[in-house]
Amino acid sequence: MTRPPLPAWLIDPALEQGLRDYADILATTGVERGLIGPREAERLWERHILNCAVVTEAVPRGTRVLDIGAGAGLPGLVWALARPDIRVICLEPLLRRATFLIETVDALGLSDRVEVVRGRAEDLAGSGELQAPITTARAVAPLERLAGWSLPLTLSGGELLALKGSSAEAEVAAAVQAIAAAGGDEVSIEEFGSGIVDPPTRVVRIRKA
């Protein structure tokens, strides 16, 4: 697996080793269980690990993050490994993925600050049972749907950080009404990791009114 130099902000060897251990789990167990495609194994470090890690620049210190549709743990587990100051809730509806997350959290020694919850965001939205100052999602759904699921789970004054690619502008344009209906009042598209990952990670930031 190709592993470029780590960015300057990630200099603690313990943090680096945690990310490398997670990458190894993805490349083995993750592939075996169908959470990561076999072709992704050789490019996990830059395409997935660093692609998520660079976005922690946007995450406030000491906050709580809700990763919606956490899947294999991208970005939630990466953020927890790169930022020991934050707590992460991984929300995942599928049993096999939730089981993988629970096992991986235990293997990486993250049980004290990462919780895995099995459930669907659309079922929890509006219930008040699960909310966080920061919500995030990567490769889960188009923004028009994602906003309706995520913003109700975002505390007022908090943000949804949706990791998107080249479709970000088109998705924002299509989701204007859904964002407003769900309580979003400020929307921006930002890039993270220029010079570290190519292309930089694009994030749609939506503030919850």
Judge whether residue 129 has pLDDT over 80.
no
Judge whether residue 1 has pLDDT over 60.
no
Judge whether residue 117 has pLDDT over 50.
yes
Which domains does the chain possess? 13-208 (3.40.50.150)
- Average pLDDT on 78-88 reads 96
- Average pLDDT on 78-103 reads 97
- Sign of torsion over alpha carbons 125, 67, 147, 57: positive
Sequence-ordered alpha helix ranges (H) in the chain = 13-25, 31-32, 44, 51-53, 76-82, 95-107, 121-124, 143-150, 168-174, 176-181
- Average pLDDT on 22-51 reads 91
Q: Who has greater pLDDT, 196 or 184? A: 184
Judge whether residue 127 has pLDDT over 70.
no
pTM of the predicted structure, to 2 decimals: 0.92
**Highest mean pLDDT pick, 37-41, 123-127, 165-169:** 165-169
